[in-house]
Amino acid sequence: MLVRVLAALACLLPVSGHTNPPIGKNVIVINGATIVHPSQNGAAALEPGATIVIQGDRIQLAGAGITLELPQGATIIDGRGKWVAPGLVDSHVHFFQSGNLYTRPDAADFNGVVPYAEEVARNKARLDATFKVWLASGVTGVVDIGGPFWNFDARDRAAASPAAPRMAVAGPLISMIDDPPLDLGDPPIIRIDSVEAARALVARQLARNTDYIKVWFIHQKGDDLAAQEAIVKAAGDAAHAAGKKFAVHATELLVAKAALRAGADLLVHSVFDQPVDDEFIALAKRNQALYCPTLFVMQGYDLALSNQWRATPEELKRADPEILAAMDDLNEMPADKRPEAVSKLMAAAKMPDPPRIAMENLKKLSDAGIPIVMGTDAGNIGTLHGPSIHREMRLMQESGLTPLEILRSATTNGAKALGLEGKTGAVAAGMYADLVILDADPLADSANLARVYRTIKGGVVYDPKALMESIR
């Protein structure tokens, strides 16, 4: 164990200007670890032989060549043979959905088996457990990019919880179409057909201090794209005027370009109908837009609804056991209870498996310098909160992104999606102590991001195993 002297102790003092509590209280020291710096390239991305000192919720010191006397009472974590990366961020999740079969009656109507109202009530009651599965997967930040107004309560709950990721949220989606099966009185998707109505719904969300305004930009044959774009732009302008970020769901090239013209800061899905072109790239650059490829989600629906969904090793370990247990309910379900077909909307959104064009677009945009953010759309049928990040990152790696680029998307760029750039997403002095300690090198293979030894969020250390045991 590293016990050397004094030199750097002074560095424990100044950071934020106010007087720190005596050294030794709430201090965590990780020593002998390799720090991963996802914002760096080449050899600079790894810093072996490093010490990390955490006091309260912040990193006080991080780097190689630090010598210090171990403060009395400090918690020591032996970092030898371990890698310390910034905590991961999933930039696309939905807490009103669980990932099970009953969670999207607009896509597949299982109301005859589990009424949708029961499913949503379950999801609300289960929030604390859902928060924990995220931490168990090394995720210290999530963006819930659209849901009912109770999303804002979920954000408050996460902020007050002893074990939850940081959360940014959007309220109800400003939508081009109705989605009645999801309307229980506080719908996650609201049809808006005028600029005035868009501004009014934005105002209601601003009153709840929303982090994002989100548009569900569905463009169907015969729709007037210019009229739709005007509504989208009104929503974006109102968000920006209030200093909020603007996210858009737009999956076709034509529509995604309209979304960018309307001011999108975050595209939450891939363009999957055709290759992106120079105009798209120029618009994305103009907006400094983040691009979330969300590659796995449609396969999740296909697999689960055809009863071919099988848990990955990560899901067996780190998915909510209640959800896992229900994933093969189709086995037991009488034929007359099964929905005959998925909805027309689902059929229209169907991507090939694997989503080739989306994967090629991801590589092209990453190479063009568009900031990519990792996001799963967790909560959709077949995409479980927490460990589904590994299904997503596997597809990102198959798209040709390097492990470093993937980790950057889930940390450096994820911090931007969270609105916490400069506060989280790096292992450096002054940042929140949001970290994941890994048993294997995440830059050798993204799959090593599943080898979580500990997750630290806001200076609190979590053992994934203990987190999972606490929700059984």
Interaction pattern, residues 241-280, with Zn ion; x per rule: CB under 5 A = ----------------------------------------
Count of residues that interact with Zn ion, criterion CB under 5 A: 1
Tokens for 162, please give them: 């002893």
We find the least distance from the C-beta atom of residue 294 to Zn ion, in angstroms, to be 7
Indicate whether 314 belongs to the interface with Zn ion (CB under 5 A): no
Tokens for 24, please give them: 């030794």
Interacting span for Zn ion (CB under 5 A) from 133-141, 189-197, 322-330, 371-379? 371-379
Rounded Cα distance between 248 and 240, Å, is 14
Name the closest residue to Zn ion (Cβ).
Answer: 377
Interacting span for Zn ion (CB under 5 A) from 72-80, 277-285, 319-327, 376-384? 376-384
Tokens for 223, please give them: 């729709």
Of 60, 50, 68, 66, nearest in space to 26 by CA:
60
Q: Which is nearer to Zn ion, 38 or 146 (CB)?
A: 146
CA of residue 192 relative to chain centroid, distance: 26
* Alpha helices (runs of H) in 223-355, residue ranges in sequence order: 225-241, 253-261, 278-287, 297-305, 313-318, 321-326, 344-349
Q: Which is nearer to Zn ion, 315 or 377 (CB)?
A: 377
Indicate whether 211 belongs to the interface with Zn ion (CB under 5 A): no
We find the least distance from the C-beta atom of residue 92 to Zn ion, in angstroms, to be 6
Q: Which is nearer to Zn ion, 85 or 101 (CB)?
A: 101
We find the least distance from the C-beta atom of residue 212 to Zn ion, in angstroms, to be 12
Interacting span for Zn ion (CB under 5 A) from 121-129, 219-227, 355-363, 369-377? 369-377
Cβ 37 vs Cβ 91: under 8 Å: no
Q: Which is nearer to Zn ion, 169 or 436 (CB)?
A: 169
Tokens for 164, please give them: 């939850």
Rounded Cα distance between 90 and 134, Å, is 9
Helix (H) or strand (E) holding 52: strand 46-55
Q: Which is nearer to Zn ion, 29 or 374 (CB)?
A: 374
Looking at residue 268, its amino acid is V
Interacting span for Zn ion (CB under 5 A) from 5-13, 170-178, 377-385, 461-469? 377-385
Indicate whether 377 belongs to the interface with Zn ion (CB under 5 A): yes
Q: Which is nearer to Zn ion, 109 or 377 (CB)?
A: 377
Residues 124-143 that bind Zn ion (CB under 5 A): none
Is the peptide bond prior to 354 cis by the omega test (within 30 degrees of 0)? yes
We find the least distance from the C-beta atom of residue 439 to Zn ion, in angstroms, to be 31
DSSP letter, residue 111: T
CA of residue 251 relative to chain centroid, distance: 19
Cβ 418 vs Cβ 424: under 8 Å: yes
Cβ 462 vs Cβ 455: under 8 Å: yes
We find the least distance from the C-beta atom of residue 376 to Zn ion, in angstroms, to be 9
We find the least distance from the C-beta atom of residue 138 to Zn ion, in angstroms, to be 21
Rounded Cα distance between 240 and 78, Å, is 45
Cβ 20 vs Cβ 13: under 8 Å: yes
We find the least distance from the C-beta atom of residue 204 to Zn ion, in angstroms, to be 20
Torsion from C-alpha of 322, 326, 327, 329, nearest 10 degrees: 170
We find the least distance from the C-beta atom of residue 95 to Zn ion, in angstroms, to be 11
What pairs with residue 456 in β-bridges?
A: 435, 461
What pairs with residue 46 in β-bridges?
A: 36
We find the least distance from the C-beta atom of residue 373 to Zn ion, in angstroms, to be 13
Q: Which is nearer to Zn ion, 296 or 432 (CB)?
A: 296
Rounded Cα distance between 134 and 117, Å, is 24
What pairs with residue 44 in β-bridges?
A: none
Q: Which is nearer to Zn ion, 34 or 98 (CB)?
A: 98
Residues 396-435 that bind Zn ion (CB under 5 A): none
Phi, psi torsion values for 180, nearest 5 degrees? -55, -35
Rounded Cα distance between 292 and 283, Å, is 16
Interacting span for Zn ion (CB under 5 A) from 103-111, 298-306, 352-360, 370-378? 370-378
Q: Which is nearer to Zn ion, 293 or 442 (CB)?
A: 293
| Counts for the chain of helices (H) and strands (E), in that order | 16, 17
We find the least distance from the C-beta atom of residue 293 to Zn ion, in angstroms, to be 12
Cβ 151 vs Cβ 95: under 8 Å: yes
Q: Which is nearer to Zn ion, 145 or 365 (CB)?
A: 145
Interacting span for Zn ion (CB under 5 A) from 149-157, 337-345, 374-382, 437-445? 374-382
Q: Which is nearer to Zn ion, 36 or 266 (CB)?
A: 266
The C-alpha R_g of the chain, in whole angstroms, comes to 22
Please give the sequence-ordered ranges of beta strands (E in DSSP) within 377-416, or none if there are none: none
We find the least distance from the C-beta atom of residue 385 to Zn ion, in angstroms, to be 13
We find the least distance from the C-beta atom of residue 142 to Zn ion, in angstroms, to be 12
Site residues (vs Zn ion, CB under 5 A)? 377
